[in-house]
Amino acid sequence: MNVYDSDKISSLLRKSLGLELVDDPKDATVLIVNTCSVRDKAQQKLYSELGRWRKFKETCPDAIIGVGGCVASQEGGDILARAPYVDVVFGPQTLHRLPGLIKKARENSKPEIDISFPEIEKFDSLPIEKTQKASVYVSIMEGCSKYCSFCVVPYTRGEEFSRSFEDVLKEIYLVARGGAKEVTLLGQNVNAYQSNNDEGKIVDFPALLHYVSAIPGIERIRYTTSHPIEFSQRLINVHKELPKLVKHVHLPVQSGSDRILRRMKRGYTSLEYKSIVRRLRSICPEMSISSDFIVGFPGETKEDFIDTMSLIEEIKFDQSFSFSYSSRPGTPAADLDDQVEDKVKQERLALLQSKITNFANHYSIAMVGNIEKILVTGESKKSSELLAGRTENNRVVNFAGEKALIGSMVNVRIEEVFPNSLGGSYLPSA
Ligand code: SAM
């Protein structure tokens, strides 16, 4: 979501103020840091980055320093108290007002803060950029109304708000016309999406997927992130109905212990989670499931952690975003007494990650010899001699091929497995 927002910030500043991105911050006249406050470290990183930018501001007093994103939304004026050389503070829902805030800060030579939540206005005011990218993100909803006891998102991004159906389709048509073949529908809980079509009929997430799949040029559809409580049978069926939808679902579970899930206010049990996965795999046995986990949530006992490890063993997750619980000020879980020791959290996290890495390796090894459809997104990070792209189950594949293949969907035979990628050979179509 932040990558998407950062792209929008740079297109807004290009369109409204004629600014261009520079490689070296020393060449900048406007420096923006877009922050995340899901975990504590991001907040600490903001203040160390601002510490470095302070020196820059001393040598270039006319430069504008802006802080956006969820830390800005949470800290507001406190940022100016800690870093008085900051000129603009804006939240995830006011990034479209950034050009105006910069102008005002320059004219009045005093800082501007706007961290309000005018979601409707934001979606209406963001520029839709023509893109030449093969794979693009399109935001379909914002915010979260689930109020999990550990999470700051409802307080920093506001409640769930769906973008209009017409705007979502317009953006996807436009990027598809520019050559995009893959679209990732983006939101905190995409399966909470709800809008109306021009006849006033409700378009929910399964219906939206059908419309997106009908857009000419779009060959592959992904979505992230979904939430288990809105993972309906209709959504499961869509995975059977739409061949363009990848055989991969990222579905955050957080814990395998029902006691902890209750304390987290997740709204489902581990059995209900397993039932979703079972039904997804009954229509597509090779469905790859990745997830988010939090270890060391307050009160998590050894038995609770064992329940999480058993769930991992049962589902055989393929990859995860897993984190130690990080106490977020203002969330209900931050006030719980029985916080887990850091050392215990680290040990549990290492065990969990090693188990999931083993499963991910196992899946990668099983892919050797397969012919996979790869969307070629550019040159490989490993070598400019190689191309890179992703498989349906979201693995990076590097292979030798002509640069002209960038942007197209090609067949590659998988031959090698590396810790974070696969290697293969391009198979020209007959
Ligand atoms: N749809 C997702 C869900 O089902 O929860 C929401 C994604 S959430 C914004 C991103 C991830 O950050 C969560 O799934 C969770 O694993 C992690 N996260 C959120 N708050 C956290 C906290 N206080 N400590 C550690 N990890 C946290």
**Cβ < 6 Å from ligand 1: which residues?**
38-39, 150-151, 153, 188-189, 225, 227, 252, 254, 292, 294, 323, 325-326, 328
Q: Ligand 1 centroid to 283 CA: how many Å?
A: 28
Backbone angles phi, psi at 121, to 5 degrees: -60, -40
Cis peptide, bond prior to residue 301, ω within 30 of zero: no
Q: Ligand 1 centroid to 292 CA: how many Å?
A: 7
Q: What is the rounded CA–CA span in Å between residue 344 and residue 350?
A: 10
Q: Ligand 1 centroid to 407 CA: how many Å?
A: 32
Q: What is the pLDDT of residue 131?
A: 66
DSSP3 helix / strand / coil % (the chain, rounded to 5): 40, 20, 35
Q: What is the pLDDT of residue 130?
A: 65
- Closest to 115 measured CA to CA, from 63, 65, 73: 73
Sign for the CA dihedral angle at 171, 175, 178, 181 comes to negative
- Closest to 336 measured CA to CA, from 148, 75, 150, 146: 150
**Residues with Cβ < 8 Å from 16, sequence gap 6 or more?**
99
Q: Ligand 1 centroid to 344 CA: how many Å?
A: 20
Q: What is the pLDDT of residue 25?
A: 82
Sign for the CA dihedral angle at 254, 256, 262, 267 comes to positive
Q: What is the pLDDT of residue 160?
A: 95
Sign for the CA dihedral angle at 259, 261, 262, 268 comes to negative
Q: What is the rounded CA–CA span in Å between residue 38 and residue 322?
A: 13
Q: What is the pLDDT of residue 119?
A: 66
Query: Which protein residue's CA is at the shortest distance from atom 4 of ligand 1?
Result: 227
Q: Tens digit of pLDDT per residue, the chain (430 long)?
A: 888 899 889 989 999 999 999 988 888 999 999 998 888 888 888 999 999 999 889 999 999 999 999 999 888 999 999 999 999 999 988 999 999 999 999 999 999 999 988 766 777 777 776 667 899 999 999 999 999 999 999 998 889 999 999 999 999 999 999 999 999 999 999 999 999 988 999 999 999 999 999 999 999 999 999 999 999 999 999 999 999 999 999 999 999 999 999 999 999 999 999 999 999 999 999 999 999 999 999 999 999 999 999 999 999 999 999 999 999 989 999 999 999 999 999 999 999 999 999 999 999 999 999 999 999 999 999 999 999 999 999 999 999 999 999 999 999 999 999 989 999 999 997 5
Tokens (6 digits) for 128: 């839709």
The reply to whether the predicted model has a pTM over 0.75 is yes
Helix (H) or strand (E) holding 184: strand 182-186
Q: What is the pLDDT of residue 133?
A: 87
Q: Which atom from ligand 1 is nearest to the alpha carbon of 327?
A: 23
Q: Strand 141-142 and strand 161-162: pairing?
A: antiparallel
Query: Which protein residue's CA is at the shortest distance from atom 22 of ligand 1?
Result: 326
Burial class of residue 3 in the structure, from the number of CB atoms within 10 Å of its CB (0-12 exposed, 13-18 middle, 19+ buried): exposed
| Helix (H/G/I), strand (E/B), else coil: 380 | coil
Q: What is the pLDDT of residue 43?
A: 80
Q: What is the rounded CA–CA span in Å between residue 163 and residue 214?
A: 19
Q: Which atom from ligand 1 is nearest to the alpha carbon of 333?
A: 23
DSSP one-letter code for 16? H
Q: Ligand 1 centroid to 321 CA: how many Å?
A: 9
